[in-house]
């Protein structure tokens, strides 16, 4: 009200000058001090009566820093309805948002950007149509002060019964308990789901046994503002739902050199295979298909198979129907370069499981093509009777090779 008083005072002075000029009055024409105060009070009271009753609240407060990216910015109004809200970056780029149907709140349509200064302006009206305005500016959290988690599976995917929820954080997590407490994974089957930490940056969730077929799994991340390490907080709030498909578990027996494909408890196919040679045996254990490629390059030098000149012992640029089983390079894939006679009779690979196939991945009648077409990400391939060790639980998505008690012991919850 300081500005109003100044304007009134100036008006009073100018008014007095005009009265002296026009009327030629003397000192008796000037209002006494008490009368001037009463006049100002009347003006203030009249202005107050004309002020909007709408009360706008902007979150975060003006000047805030390290603001979250998801639910931190919003506008609410009491005793009125919002009519306009504008959120812009310091460069002037507008951020889309929506006023709620009842006009009482507003929020952005999507997450904000990190290390960005924003200006927010809101307008509301009360029941008598009188406007109220509010403004605030704030700066969002920087990459240096925040962490995010990349995760699989993604929203809407249908996966096999062996697919864990696997979250990889872009920074080491020191307060594992706080971070894990902000993440929930549940199944429509009612199975107990427990998280297990593999080091400081990976957290996997699974039940004791494979997921029940045709169930739905929900993962909720509520990491906004959760401190993962001193001065480093989460910026994600997200809910993901994915579907568990039919139950398919395939057993590769390296002694009989056959793979038995079992779906929903019934054997649907037996396929001759060629596993790792005695010099380079295939890992034992339950391995989960994590990636599928109709064709891909396999270079032995990338997984330690090098000749005397440092070149790969093999470099095949068009391996057909390849599906990853471990991060260290174990695949189950088509093989067109081996003689038909090796499948079912000899183990000849560098550790992968080979199925007979045709060059170009174009023949649907080949065993490898059938298995590729009938497999989902998350299906289990269980290798038995190999002279090699069991694959490590964190080598790929292979936590099923850890007992339930040990798995639970790795939880921070």
The residues annotated as belonging to the active site are: 333, 352
CB 357 within 8 A of CB 334: yes
Cα–Cα distance, 164 to 378 (Å, whole number) = 8
CB 173 within 8 A of CB 147: yes
Report the sign of the C-alpha dihedral through residues 296, 346, 395, 324, in that order. positive
Q: How many residues are there in the chain?
A: 413
- Is residue 120 classed as helix, strand or coil in its secondary structure? strand
Q: Which of 17, 4, 390, 408 minimizes the C-alpha distance to 206?
A: 408
- Which residues, including other chains, have CB under 8 Å from residue 132's CB and lie 6 or more apart? 52, 54, 55, 56, 77, 80, 123, 124, 125, 126
Cα–Cα distance, 177 to 255 (Å, whole number) = 44
CB 86 within 8 A of CB 54: no
Map 195-218 to HEC letters: EEECCCCEEEEEECCCCCCCCEEE
Backbone angle region of 391, left / alpha / beta, with phi > 0 → left and psi within -120 to 50 → alpha: beta
Which residues lie across from 117 on neighbouring strands? 139
DSSP class of residue 94?
A: B
End-to-end CA distance of the chain, in Å? 55
DSSP assignment of 262-320: EETTEEEEEEE-B-B-TTSPPPBEEEE--EEEEEEEEEGGGGT-B-TTS-BS-EEEEEE
């Amino acid at each position: 009200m300081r500005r109003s008083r100044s304007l009134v005072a100036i008006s009073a002075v100018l008014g007095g000058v005009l009265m002296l000029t026009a009327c030629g009055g003397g000192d008796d024409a000037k209002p006494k001090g008490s009368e001037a105060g009463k006049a100002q009070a009347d003006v203030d009271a009249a202005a107050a009566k004309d002020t909007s009753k709408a009360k706008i609240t902007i979150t975060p407060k003006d000047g805030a820093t390290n603001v979250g990216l998801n639910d931190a910015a919003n506008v609410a109004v009491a005793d009125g309805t919002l009519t306009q809200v504008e959120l812009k970056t310091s460069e002037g780029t507008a951020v889309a948002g929506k006023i709620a149907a009842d006009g009482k709140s507003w929020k952005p349509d999507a997450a904000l950007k990190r290390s960005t200064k924003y200006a927010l302006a809101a307008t509301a009206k009360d029941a008598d149509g009188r406007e109220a305005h509010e403004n605030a500016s704030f700066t969002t959290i920087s990459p240096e002060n925040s962490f995010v988690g990349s995760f699989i599976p993604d929203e809407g995917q249908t996966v096999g019964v062996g697919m864990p929820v696997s979250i990889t954080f872009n920074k080491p997590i020191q307060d594992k308990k706080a971070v894990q407490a902000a993440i929930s994974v549940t199944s429509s089957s009612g199975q107990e789901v427990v998280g297990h930490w593999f080091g400081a940056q990976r957290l996997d969730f699974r039940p004791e046994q494979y997921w029940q077929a045709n169930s739905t799994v929900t993962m909720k991340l509520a990491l906004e503002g959760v401190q993962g390490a001193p001065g480093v907080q989460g910026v994600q709030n997200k809910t993901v739902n994915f579907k568990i498909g039919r139950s398919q578990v395939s057993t590769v027996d390296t002694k009989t050199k056959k793979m038995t494909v079992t779906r929903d408890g019934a054997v649907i196919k037996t396929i001759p295979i060629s596993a790792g040679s005695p010099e380079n045996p295939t890992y034992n254990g339950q391995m989960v298909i994590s990636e599928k490629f109709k064709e891909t390059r396999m270079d032995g030098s990338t997984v330690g198979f090098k000749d005397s000149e440092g070149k790969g012992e093999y470099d095949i640029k068009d391996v057909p129907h390849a599906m990853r089983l471990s991060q260290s390079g174990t695949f189950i894939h088509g093989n067109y370069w081996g003689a038909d006679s090796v499948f079912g009779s000899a183990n000849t690979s560098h550790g992968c499981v080979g199925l007979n196939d045709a060059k170009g991945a174009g023949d649907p009648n080949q065993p490898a093509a059938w298995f590729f077409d009938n497999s989902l990400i998350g299906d289990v391939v269980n290798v038995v009777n190999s002279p090699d060790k069991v694959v490590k639980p964190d080598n790929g998505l292979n936590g099923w090779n850890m007992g339930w008690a040990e798995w639970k012991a790795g939880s921070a919850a």
